[in-house]
Structure 1
């Protein structure tokens, strides 16, 4: 097991390096850069351009160098914690993404908890009580959840929260706390607004997870080993937890690699509709404006989450399912 973990960690390093090359290449594909675009926009509006400042920034951040030298400088700084400079915000990237990263992690963590806490008991009940009235109700609600666009649900909940609870529309906090230092009143405002994006982002994932868990669990409950366990007199709860449920949750553990980055991005469309201060909208704007250091940092974080998620899911699968062996072969 230890050798497997060490080998996987060593494999993650060249994987991330290859991903960083792809990210840097894609960001560099559009002609020009942020500074050239800014010059063109200012000249089109008849504004004066400070060419000395532009040239200083170009030399300071190596934009006048060949692409391979720009990449080496970017990835070397990234490893050392220097994420570069955001030309659009005129601040270091670490300062730009500070609060947004924290709020995104809060939304992602809360959405994950919501999804699993709601989906698992409902999915188990729906499978165990197949074709019951409760099963039909859960199935209908699940289909509605899958069919309802997230942005529509976001608009409905925003209006409802404003009418019923007086919650301000949009954002993750009241407007007076935006840009202010953290305090208990600001934390309370975040908690007041947090449940809306958590429900919106978690609903589609919850509905899909319920359907998959129900299907997987029904398949396991119909197998011969469950019939044998019942014949031996084991209690239904013990049979369910010890055997079928452990095997039915494998797909959800395996999906961890895709769940982490999707939650980390903050559901971009929902974030735009609700005006959330998360990473998704800022990443889109950074890509549109060719703010390469800011966009590259976001993309590398998400790529790292994919690699980390796959690694964690492999370890969890080996712990949950004894049929899985990490060594790549059976020992005799």
Structure 2
């Protein structure tokens, strides 16, 4: 357990600001703050590091999602950093998510005592981020109709879609690669030919992604046992919502309700604190107090998130038992894009792609979806 923790923020106007510290009596000075910030940024890039600050062992955590913020753990001499680095990073992640909302939300002592952490993003959260990057969503839509495309062609197409000269295809395609939806490979490379062939960089769609709201089946089943008094009312809420819900309606309009709803779901799931609340509600109806205690989150923040989820038709409140439950469960499902195979075959017939590209696409699909995979 760390001896002390403080949260450092580099403000554009005020310089170094200690946003929160635990215990409150822990003393820091300007020299220490400068050293901590400098030493964390020095050398190999990493989110969690062990540094020595004037003879004091400190673990420091930062995140690219929150530039200018740093969580600093003053460690005991005997504390094993290597063994505890994953847990320290998880606590640092948790602390930063709250500190960047408001330092008033932070109860560092409680977080340390209960070992509260936020793990690395789940596959569900990684998939959600695809729909929060407009250029990535455009690329996914394009690949759903093409299956395979040269990177250069994709870049030109994306530039036209965004009406922008400077388009970084790698930045746009990274969320798709991170979610395991696409592979980018050099096709036609031959280092032994004379002269050597460098090949053509090509993008392959190996998984498609469907974002939708699923009925909260597990929650309903559990709630039937824990809160039988709201079982019927809960069932009616869910049935009423899904009676008018159609996530598969086809539309080309980027401003359509389906696209807007997809972004709403993705934004809620990608938000790490909201995701904790969703995870708890998936197990059944809970009160704000129960969520706050289980998640080690401040009551007022939990309440705020639930109100937002209620307006988004994700959660519903039952005044009689003063508890909350999921009315719809955000879901992200990957599947084989077999529908695009005739398109790829036609592109080969029309000489839009060569035999090697077509063959490699089928190989990638077999590698991804063959026996024992997915």
Q: TM-score, length-normalised on structure 1? A: 0.25
Q: Structure with the greater relative contact order (CA < 8 A, sep ≥ 6): 1 or 2?
A: 1
Q: TM-score, length-normalised on structure 2? A: 0.23
Higher helix share: 1
